[in-house]
Structure 1
Amino acid sequence: MQNFNNHARYYPLHHFIITPLTLVYLIWTIVNLAAAFSNGTSLMTASYHLLGAVILVLLPLLARIYALKNQDRLIRLEMRQRYFELTGKSFSEMERKLRLSQIIALRFAGNEELVPLMEKASKEKLKSKFIKESISNWQVDKYRV
């Protein structure tokens, strides 16, 4: 069962293989560039490798950022729909009062506690961690990025 203590999600291929390997390659190319400066050989080749390593480090980071931004948009859309279904009102006024991190945290709340917790979060400016800890009926989300 998903809850506050186990809701964080890692994608092993991204977090433990691709990103670390690209960082290792970047460090290796920096060491090779430093060696090329010190002994004066193949500076151009070492520079090309460094450029390639920087590009390779940026690719998985950008892919992750794009996926998270898309997920944030979907969460806002989901919360607009849920709020309307529960209250019959537009979410736009409440959305202006809440930070995105609060909205993301609130999406884990079950329907019966969502609206009261949302109002408390907007009035008391609760941090997302406190919001998640306050949820008693955790809504499972196994499809997060």
Structure 2
Amino acid sequence: MKQQNYHNHRKFYPPHHFIYLPLLILLEIFGMYKIGDDPKNKLVWILFSVVIFLLFYLAIMVRQHYALGLQNRMVILEFKQRYFEIFNMRSDETAAKLKFDQMAALRFAHDDEFKDLLYKALHENISGDEIKRSIKNWRADWLRI
């Protein structure tokens, strides 16, 4: 594998970026052209264009799904890092006992409340929403996707 640098650091998925999406754009243009060019089959070409548009929209939404999945991984890593900074211990066992919504909610608590809310999450199994409602000193997250 080549060493990464500025010129080769971008990652493309060729079937998606160079075949699928351009093909959908060309098919959409073709379908819209045929709507005006073929009045006898106008309804068919409208349906064709709508289906192509929906496929294009679905492809874009999959990218959003990937971003949200990555955000969830970052939330878990942030929890583990913060746990280590506060307790000076690994968090593997603790993280395994928590649900994702609990870890995500704990992000909003300042360090002084983090310990108490974590204890409640582990021993009383309070939900992420209950954790958020219990926070008195809110720690904002302005970088969410």
Distance in 1 of aligned mates of 2:51 and 2:74? 35
Structure 1 residues 131 and 60, CA gap change in structure 2 (3 angstroms): farther
What residue in structure 2 maps to residue 114 of structure 1? 114
What residue in structure 2 maps to residue 74 of structure 1? 74
Task: Answer whether contact 1:83 1:115 (CA < 8 A) is retained.
Answer: no
Identity of aligned residues (%): 34
SS of the residue corresponding to residue 141 of structure 1 reads coil
Gaps of 5+ in 2: 1-39
SS of the residue corresponding to residue 136 of structure 1 reads coil
Distance in 1 of aligned mates of 2:63 and 2:119? 34
Distance in 1 of aligned mates of 2:110 and 2:102? 15
Task: Give a deviation string over 1:14-58, Cα, whole Å, max 9, x none.
Answer: xxxxxxxxxxxxxxxxxxxxxxxxxx8346423421321222332
What residue in structure 2 maps to residue 52 of structure 1? 52
**Count of aligned pairs:** 106
Deviation beyond 6 Å, 4+ runs, structure 1: none
Q: TM-score, normalised by structure 2?
A: 0.65
SS of the residue corresponding to residue 41 of structure 2 reads coil
Gaps of 5+ in 1: 1-39
Is 50-59 or 95-104 further displaced after alignment?
50-59
| Pairing 1:1-145 to 2, within 5 Å after superposition | 41-42=41-42, 44-145=44-145
Task: Answer whether contact 1:105 1:132 (CA < 8 A) is retained.
Answer: yes
SS of the residue corresponding to residue 41 of structure 1 reads helix
